[in-house]
Chains A and B, each alone.
Chain A
């Protein structure tokens, strides 16, 4: 077909589709490599990593369908890393980076960038970002609520070469690994990232050999243009104007009170400007630097756009973003502490953006998903004497928001990951760590009430075996329930919230703030994650569906009556139609008043 090395006037549609397929295969094989070879449970069970391909500009040419929170930030981060090295980028180099000041998300997300050279020219970047289980600092797993500055959180890695012209810089790798707990896990994950980048490179070179650089470049330019045209067509469907959104972030224990994030979405023709105003940054680990905030903004945009793959930089060409003043919560400045930022405040920022789009395009709305309220665990494994540390991804699996079309998925969140995570098999977790998982299940009445119900949140209950285990709780969604959409309305608020319950010798402590606590053998911690928001008026939900939810234990009799206006007969099998009609009319009148 197209001759290699001949500059095409306009790329033909068939070659275009073929190049698209080859790029997707390259990215997919990178992801597969990470999944199969990753060493920590965060990599190999939870899939808390993302892969992307960039061109020489460097613009994103393919965003994997991996973790949304990683991928917006990769766009500015790639640029920052390439700028830092400028002309000093060579074949065989591999660059590593996590620092938010260079547009990283949080320092646990360590990112590898491999420049791909073709006939001596820098053509592509294969990029792989993953959440390491530890990055040094005083608190295992990196979530340190006492940190007042980023220096107290862990190791910052500005752009640094781990391979220099094909030679591994063992001294630098050693420097990094010496600063991390559970070194062997971190080293294994670093190798897995290297394998992924090489697999990506191998695929890209084969593509270039086959079609030639000029053709591939022309195809990529057209792919970006297509994405641009599509996003513009969506934006054009919104009437011109400025739309407002806001979301309130609870006080997770810092003492600065509730913080409100406001957004404006301004549509003008086929361009959209998203601006963010957030309060001044605080000396607590929930500040978000610009790169991470871009992910939050883009996710809110995608909840509106609902674009199918492939994803590339073209999607965002018609989007301009102003994150607000430097030194604020969503545009943090050094030395703000930040490790919690990928979930808090990012998910609240996403909600604020989605609320503005709900005002702009109500017919495309999706209710909010449950935010992350999870735990990390750490200790010394009594069987091996080795230290272990991990984020428990199963503990952050929340309910998905309901949509105009259907109920929310159970156990699919949190919002920032949008179903991309995997919580890991409980036997594999019990095999890897000295713990007993007593419960991992859906929680009754946790899904937001609506004509379409929000997905249920989850409960994860753990007990250490034969040792004292540190439990580090982080996140939010423990005081303010997930926001519904289109008139959804919760009554049993407490059931919708996340929390950490700890049983110490029969006494139950309920934590609605971030906390670090220690469990002894025989003691249990129960981490509860919020459900997703509902969609539409709850008393318009068909009573038969309410009854089915009751039978399956997803809701209680109380919720059927209080939230959905459905009165169930004493046998729990039938609906009292007359009483239901009367109650629903009353609820409707109350709502109108």
Chain B
């Protein structure tokens, strides 16, 4: 950081969070209500707060920022609310319906549900137009492109007022010539209309995934384009000397010109900064395996980073749309503070996925909610202060929480309110733990090899219980846990992902020259983008991976490989790594059987200097000063209340040790330290929670 500041602006649905990091100085957090119709108003309001706090004009702050970074839910919200633009699809004749057939599958959990609706279609059938012309699996042209079909479709699109065109032809990934020609025709005949093609957006095998990804991109990019233009202009007028960087779902930053073409790359950017933030928090502890968990009001987001590397996911269903482009692997569950506890049709207790949301909210908010929620349980268990005030305005009402738990859970099950509250807490912990298993064990990782990083305001009350459930020994809770994701954005690097496809059998004599050429091309492209962004070669990092499988399998395992030329010996090592990965994931490998590689991926990152973490003063008197009385809490289902000491986190000093059971209250988060755990405040501003010998 050569300049004095770096600014992060995370525009969420309700609030816009601001992180102002000062070079070798403090981290300042601000918040203003979001203004979805024009995000710049919320930003202006936040900057004004900043100007007052620093006693410095807004323009001076911006001119002194090395980077202004914006995380936005514009694309996500447009997809959730189905408020993208009108899209027309040009596709290979005979395959107009793959996007609606969705591989003929109905999602699990709804097998016999007579009222579960089909997935929403972003392009109605009459706007999916057939184009004759066919490429085959080997890239050869089987039938020439029929340009009349394209022109006819263009006329239909014009008449229908289509604002964006997606082009996706079968096997364009092997030979994009037809798509390129179609793109030229659209650009020529429909000037001003956004256009993108499958071979550009997602150049990998799988027609349905590619078509769907391309459609989502076409649907969202014009919306994103308008947003980016507005934000870029806003900051330019304030004197920003480098373009605004936008946060993407792959955990990296990109400039506006990239975002307006590839909105699909930003659809799940909200939680995507969590693994980087978790790694950053963990670095002072020498830890580079982290699982970061973030419990909000309605959902619980889980991400994982192994050996300092984030974990990407591809080809997944997101909001019921198939998305191919790599995104930080985020496991999202309907488990938050507002998750409702209810008795299901079988008479069994369930928590979530439905949420009381912010309104009416949990019963204890006193805003008319009558259902028992996780927050109500936390209040009934004594984890939250009975008169706590959340978000500056909501005063909690413990009797209302107990009444809701009694009526909705305890009485129907014939158990006490205490046991019911503890049960709700246990169940939501189990749901969250199962989600963590999904992102770890199911990906071949043992959660016990990871530290659990606490993000979000509500997570701290569950974090030691979660760690116990999973056998995890180390938990880190940063003091600013509630803004960890916004912090993650300001420490992110600029990142470009490139994909290529080269199906072949891998062995010593394989066509390694082609592989090396494809990787070199991707890397060169990334380096040239980054040089244009102002990065020196010394600040550029490259990661390569291959997606591989046994011949005949369809799903690939991702194997990270070293940079540089792949030699015959290197190919052998790659094969060994693949067998080991398969065995870790699925309990067996088949070293005697041929292995295919399918896809190549190259990530080229421009390293951005990171703001420093806090450096807290040490002092042995902190514990006594911070002690703030006792509160009765429940830590098991015996109904036995434990008088538990409570500490004000702001008065604790580096090196202070708190032994559980205990609660530490920070301004925006409460940490419950269960019996058998201890917390030590580290100078970098995080509590390290570990088990201690009894």
Contacts and interface: CB of A to CB of B under 8 A. Distances in A.
Given A36-B555, A411-B101, 11 more contacts: A14-B422, A17-B427, A184-B551, A188-B553, A195-B587, A199-B586, A308-B112, A308-B344, A403-B114, A423-B103, A426-B207
B114 A199 contact: no
Nearest to A397: B104
B346 A68 contact: no
B339 to A, nearest CB: 14
Contacts of B103: 422-425
A441 interface: yes
A442 B97 contact: yes
A303 B112 contact: yes
Contacts of A413: 104
B104 A14 contact: no
B136 A430 contact: yes
B258 interface: no
Given A13-B413, A16-B348, A418 B106 contact: yes
B628 to A, nearest CB: 30
B502 to A, nearest CB: 13
A423 to B, nearest CB: 4
Interface residues of A, number: 89
B205 A436 contact: no
B96 interface: yes
Contact of B205 (A21, A308, A423, A431): A431
A305 interface: yes
B599 to A, nearest CB: 12
A366 interface: yes
A397 B349 contact: no
Interface stretch (B11-19, B67-75, B429-437, B491-499): B429-437
Contacts of B110: 419
Given A198-B587, A419-B111, A440 B101 contact: yes
B127 to A, nearest CB: 9
Contacts of B136: 430, 436, 465
Given A21-B434, A423-B104, A425-B103, A440 B98 contact: yes
B171 interface: yes
Interface of A: 1, 12-14, 16-18, 20-21, 25, 29, 32-33, 35-41, 44-45, 47, 65, 68, 184-185, 188, 191-192, 194-195, 198-199, 202, 226-227, 229-230, 302-303, 305-309, 364, 366, 393-394, 397, 400, 403-406, 409-413, 418-428, 430-432, 436-442, 458, 461, 465, 551-554
A410 B100 contact: yes
A339 to B, nearest CB: 22
A366 B114 contact: yes
B118 interface: yes
Contacts of B587: 33, 195, 198-199, 202
Contacts of B431: 21
A306 B114 contact: yes
Nearest to A427: B207
A436 B208 CA distance: 16
Given A226-B348, A229-B347, A12 B426 contact: no
Contact of B115 (A16, A33, A403): A403
B590 interface: yes
Given A397-B101, A425-B206, A436-B142, A18 B112 contact: no
- Which residue, A185, A400, A420, has most C-beta atoms of chain B within 10 A? A420
A188 B118 contact: no
Given A29-B442, A37-B586, A427 B137 contact: yes
B113 interface: yes
A38 B574 CA distance: 22
A135 B501 CA distance: 34
Nearest to B412: A13
A74 to B, nearest CB: 16
A25 B433 CA distance: 11
B585 interface: yes
Contacts of B114: 306, 364, 366, 403-406
B666 to A, nearest CB: 29
A68 B125 CA distance: 30
B552 A441 contact: no
Interface in B62-100: 93-98, 100
Contacts of A426: 95, 98, 170, 207-208
A427 B125 contact: no
A553 B106 CA distance: 23
B683 interface: no
B94 A17 contact: no
A412 B104 contact: yes
Contact of B586 (A33, A419, A422, A441): A33
Interface in B337-373: 344-350
Contacts of A409: 106, 118
Contact of B170 (A230, A303, A364, A427): A427
A29 to B, nearest CB: 6
A36 B558 CA distance: 12
Given A185-B552, A552-B125, A420 B106 contact: yes
Contacts of A33: 586-587
B171 to A, nearest CB: 6
B289 interface: no
A440 B347 CA distance: 44
Contact of A25 (B346, B349, B434): B434
7 contacts: A21-B431, A32-B442, A36-B555, A400-B106, A406-B114, A418-B111, A423-B101
Nearest to A364: B114
Contacts of A400: 106
A439 B134 CA distance: 12
Nearest to B205: A427
B104 A406 contact: no
Nearest to A535: B114
Nearest to B551: A184
Contact of B112 (A184, A302, A405, A442): A302
Contact of A188 (B126, B437, B552): B552
A5 to B, nearest CB: 18
Contacts of A439: 93-95
A226 B513 CA distance: 62
Contacts of A406: 114-115, 117
What 3 pairs between A and B have smallest CB-CB spacing?
A: A419-B106, A439-B94, A14-B423
A405 B114 CA distance: 7
Nearest to A199: B587
B514 interface: no
A25 to B, nearest CB: 5
A199 B344 CA distance: 29
Contacts of B555: 35-37, 44
B636 A1 contact: yes
A36 B586 contact: yes
A426 to B, nearest CB: 5
- Which residue, B111, B114, B347, B431, has most C-beta atoms of chain A within 10 A? B111
B314 to A, nearest CB: 13
